[in-house]
A and B are shown apart, each in its own frame.
Chain A
Amino acid sequence: MKRILTITVLSLGVAMASCFPAHAAPKGDGRPDGGVLNYSEYGRPATLDPITSNETISLRITELVFNGLVGIDEKQEIVPELAERWEASKDGRVFTFFLRKDVKWHPREGEAARPFTADDVVFTYNIMMHPKTITPLKVRYEFIEKVEKTGDYTVVITLKRPILNALAKFSFKIIPRHGPSNPQYLTREDRFAHSPIGTGPYMLQTVTGDGEVVLVANPDYFKGRAHIDKFIARPFADQNIMAQALMFNAIDMIVLVNPRNLPEVQGDKRFVLQPYNALSYSFFGYNVRNPLLADRRLRQAITAAVNRQEMLDSFFNGQGTVISGPFAPGSWAYNLDIKPLPFAPERARALLTEAGFRPGADGIMEKDGKKLVLSLKVPIEKESEAVKRVVLAFQNYLKSVGIAITVEFKEWQAWKEDVFLEHNFDIMFASWVFDDSADISSLFHSAEIGDWKNNFGGYSNPEVDSLIVESKLTLDFEKRRTINRKLHAILAEEQPYAFLWTLTNYSAYHRKVRRVQIHPYKFFSFADEWFIPASEQK
């Protein structure tokens, strides 16, 4: 007999739905509406849709514009969003979602708002999984066998196999069937990717010539209109200027404070510093399509030649931690037994010799008559003073062991094309930020090699592939931990990246913004609850 587990909607949710079935809905919590929140970003978003994006600038905006079937609250509880309730089969393979009937898509100019229905859920899944859609989401949703509409407001999702933490996976954002110009697959060239409509608390109003993204409160938001009238994302190329802008009240919030500015901001009682996002790290990633870099010894030599602790101390005031592998130290998956490789230039030289390199007349290593010269590409948005110094130091450390590095700073979009599309680089500098799942499959599984995919370096190791798959298949938490510890150990040895450090991550905001809860990864998940007292609204 099939036993159904029913999770009923929160009573509050029922009450709100019945009170505000169709029209503009204030939250009714007694807090004032109004005000504008200007926040600084370190660059412009590449896209504004939740499917093709792979960076946090876009993520923050899409969090304001879209919703998932379910949400995850600050207590790590799964809560209803577009689905008001759901049922799971006993074997954990079939999930039936009962959708809210009071949700409307943001209206396009001159059009009436359309209702959200089961068709949109099916459409989202299909377009996400279409072979021509370039998205890092595919690898995350390969466990879904099919998504079917069984009524206008009912969707059944069948999994190929039960998985750990399945419900949380259904927090992916739903896009409208009438959104993309091409209903088959989505690319970054589609108008929807730059001018999206969603169901979320904020609607895109405009993107200015300066790259400012202006979002306004959705009066018909199904959880009640967000309190703050407007969110404006303002791109800053230089992180140092952000702190000045905050001090002079030109902005109200910095999503990521430059570590150097922390003392200054902490010393000013107008602002609150809030730690978040402990699950990120910086790295130099290798393109192993280059036969030289395919040799693990060269990769290990590079890491051994670089004094990461010294760079961290000198350029970031020691405000971080050197790491040993593919997980951040704040993750449950970090293998505490694996210590970072020590700074050992002699070992670096020995490894290079072992790999067949010999010093040339100018001190640069050579092999088969070719000099060991590698290109390093760095996105210009990361061109903060500290990153420049890191890059310069990296170059010098490697020069001292006979490796020549040519550095190229590239504009954000051009850098991404070079790295993720053309794969035209030897080494790149970047930082990843993870959600709590510690899922590294998109970074290191060989199936993730390809255009716009996250395994940009073309790293392939059957043992790693097999462990990643095993980790996804297991229904045993402790086994998954064991597997991840093993993955950490292998990748620390293999060095597909030179794993650098995790930095202190703080956001800063003006005290006038109240009730601020920051999602550790998505940032604005609870922003509809934030408010600014009437007396402090500009």
Chain B
Amino acid sequence: MASASTARRFKVGIDVGGTFTDFFVREAARAPVIHKVLSTPADPSTGVLAGLRELAGALEKPLDLATFLADTEVIVHGTTVTTNATLTRRGAKTGLITTAGVRDALEMRRGIREERYNNRYTNVAPVVPRYLRVGVKGRLDRHGQTVEPLKLDDVREAIALFKKEDVRAVAICFMNAFANPAHEAEAAALVRKELPGAFLTTSTDLLPAIRFYDRVSTTALNAYVGPILDHYLAQLQKRLREAGFAGALLIMQSNGGVMTPEVARKSPALTLLSGPAGGPIAGLAAAKPHGKECCIVVDMGGTSFEAALVEKTPVVIKEGEIDRLRCALPMLGIHTIGAGGGSIGWIDQGGLLRMGPHSAGATPGPACYGQGGELPTTTDANLVLGYLSPDFFSGGRIKLAAKAAREAIAAKIAKPLGMSVEQAAAGMYRVACTNMAQGVRAVTIERGSDPREFPLVVAGGAGPLHSCVICNDLDIALQIVPRESSVLCASGMLMGDLRHDFVRTFVDRLPDPRWGKLNALIAEMIGSGDRTLGSENIAPGKRRHAVTLDCRYLKQYHEVSFAVPLAAIEKRDAKAILRLFHDEHNRLFGYALEQEGTPVEIVNVRVQSIGVTDKHEALGQKFAGADAAAARKGGRSAYVFENEKFATIPVFDGHRLQHGNRIAGPALVETVTTTAFISASYDAVIDKFGSLLMYRKGREDLVRNALEPAS
């Protein structure tokens, strides 16, 4: 048995995706190790264990699984089992108990049809069918006062139905419960007694905030995926334990933080959009050595392109959606569009070239995979344009068939448009890049930020092939391709702190709210945060609590969230709080109504409790000088979009590039998992941590500390 007093060596981030499971291992004073295996969707824990075994065996000094795991201090795990269960509607059979008269809100989704002119666009199936949504008598008013007592007989009837229908999970959400949890607690007690085996969620435990549809939808989702995550984590913990793991397992959340499996099992909806949540913080870590506190992080996979903005911390939004269903828990503001390596190119009826959103996926995959795919994809275009090497895709593990790619592009794009295969491929490449640039706009310009102010951190195998065009379009001068670009999310998982969000609705006006009540609510939430962090073995000195208020000008419909120092509330400093609100409103929307004297109303108060975890320092490389000749492995003909011509350009082996090596664009840099295209308007240099920095020609000022040895 490993001695408890010896610090264990390894920290592991594991990101289970749809196609690949990514591993990222940190060990003190060593370069991190990256590993990828195919995912095993039927039982993802099988792939996790298999990958860990392979990974241990592939270390510089190979270990067996048991030894490796015994020496692993923490595993941070990002899982999409809840996401997939929701997307495929394979969650638990769930019943909803709600206020009589409003049981359809869950399915109505406030009556939206997202596609205005499409009569074939149907509503999404609710996670609880109507016959399992039961309205019960009992009513609270907007202040939480009881208008009509809860009718327990109605609750009993619901329970009887659920028993008969073999319901496995129960959600409880009552009108105005945000102001008073009593009715929900009463109903929950009865459910617990009568249906002890069912997974139970009450809206006031999960999200005691105003807005009924948001709350009922989030509560129902939580119940729906509860039994699934419960089962999965039990399975995973058992397997890891049996394999010799005695460290801590932490689970990634949609808000970019991590939590223990116990917290995750109670609030499984926190994992619903956690898939890409590790990326932004890892992106920031790559930007920080260059004096940047803010960055845009993009991740291009096989079917999707994700973009997020980091402004000192990743941007958090208060509500998101999964498959058009509202999930109102705080989550990172990550924008996803259907653009990836597998995106299919097609010609619409008017003769316009389109890329995606349909994807060839992993099977049949792009035409060049030679697995029977006949439709031309972004990857096929990249091959024809010379960006990808037929013999070095995935380090040579996958041979690419250039002939198949050309044939697909010729048949579906070039012939109909009357152009050459090369011209058609260049067009596909450009349209795909335009789509991705719009994804970046969505998280910057459309949220009031100017993308030119930020470096673009580029992740995903094919991301750095497209980023020069995106940056040309958006006038971004610096791109950063981290060494662990292909497993960015997994690496980010080791950088996350424990984060727990709490919210209470508190409707009152500044400058004279009920201060006593406000302070009591905050104290109550901080108490909950302390208890949760305590249960996760976080010492008091490592705990932080941050307060946020959601406010609005009277009669506005949307609130602005802004951080408030706890001291300002304790000292009842309304002036300071109002100053923060007006400033934030002005920053977001370009105006404030301060002069007009419009009253300001508080709607919600939030607390985020943070447990700071230990992180390994990244290991820097020695400065090796500007000459990259040692890493040059040849040249090939590739398309240079700036002058719309093919040219023979040098190709470098990314694994042999060292700190300080400089490359003039146009050029290609290949590693096993990633290929980067440095276009004619960019040059590149390798920084201390192995990141490839691509900067606008002449802008050496942006990468100064990569150009010379660290002082």
Q: Determine if chain A interacts with chain B.
A: no
**A interface vs B, CB < 8 Å?**
none
**B interface vs A, CB < 8 Å?**
none
